[in-house]
Amino acid sequence: MQLNTPEEEIFNPLYTEKGVRVFMKRDDMIHPFISGNKWRKLKYILRQAETENKKLLVTFGGAWSNHLLATACAAAKFGFQSVGFVRGEDVNNPIIAFCKLFGMHLRFVSREEYRDKQRLFDKFYGTEPSASFIDEGGAGPYAAKGCAEIISELEQQYEHIFCAAGTGTTSAGIINGLIENKLSSQFYAVSALKGGGFLEDDINSMLTEKYPFNLLTDYHFGGYAKTNENLITFIKRFAASTGILLDPVYTGKMMFALHEIIERDNFKPGDKILAIHTGGLMGLLGKADSIYSVT
């Protein structure tokens, strides 16, 4: 694991024109499969499982879930067995293949069954004392605790911090890190989901104390894992100009939002802005056809 990941400056003519400096916390470099917020979310979940003498990690996700893959790899690496409940029909894709390589037992369930995850766990593993329930995406207080450590690693202070949001756990953790370190950066959670307004309450529910933040809900590009030509073009141009890959589900949408807000002159000259790269680059494989077709 590579922790204390670098804060790499991103150069772009727009940033120079507007007089701002943009940096990226490269958590995508933590591990090839347990990258970004996936490791930070799992870190204390795994420690608690060890403390409770759990042997089996049971978690949930869609067929393209980076969390499923990260859990499968982490389980193999740290001596656990793993089970993944997968929403939808059995499919053959790179995520599923890697999960199987790491020894994860996969159970494909209907979308209706998937809605009640605790019931699924209780039905199949409720009588197994060595089984540990891990919510979809690793969401929960242990995950937020791990994400808070992002702030304590920073080498400099920033006026603004951006992060993509799915469950809001990573955002809550980062805000808690700001609170713990007595910092006052403006925080922006960029919802990757359509109708992401609910994230405001979800994030607030995980905070150690009140902290104002900005929830951006207009950059979902049609919904979770949805894209369009504008987003794919942005991701391709960003990769070609920086050497850094963004995934189309989370980080691509976050950087698109950041870039557009800079264009609107929402920041002052001299401001330093940090974008958190939360990994998840396997999401690119699910959009290979779109990437190929957009010039």
Closest Cα to residue 163, out of 175, 155, 171? Answer: 171
For residue 206, CA distances in Å to 90, 116, 147, 175 come to 34, 22, 12, 10
- Tell me how far the alpha carbon of residue 90 is from its chain's centroid: 24
Which pair of structure tokens corresponds to residue 133? 């329930």
Distant-in-sequence, close-in-space partners of 262: CB < 8 Å, separation ≥ 6: 14, 15, 18, 20, 22, 273
**Distance in angstroms (rounded) separating the CA atoms of residues 214 and 175:** 11
- Give the DSSP per-residue string, 5-72: --EEEE--HHHHHHT-EEEEEEGGGS-SSS-THHHHHHHHHHHHHHHTT--EEEEEE-TT-HHHHHHH
Count of beta carbons in the 10 Å neighbourhood of residue 88: 12
Q: Which residue out of 65, 132, 171, 185 is catalytically annotated? A: 65
Distant-in-sequence, close-in-space partners of 237: CB < 8 Å, separation ≥ 6: none
**Distance in angstroms (rounded) separating the CA atoms of residues 277 and 164:** 8
Q: Is 290 a catalytic residue?
A: no
Indicate which residues carry an active-site annotation: 65
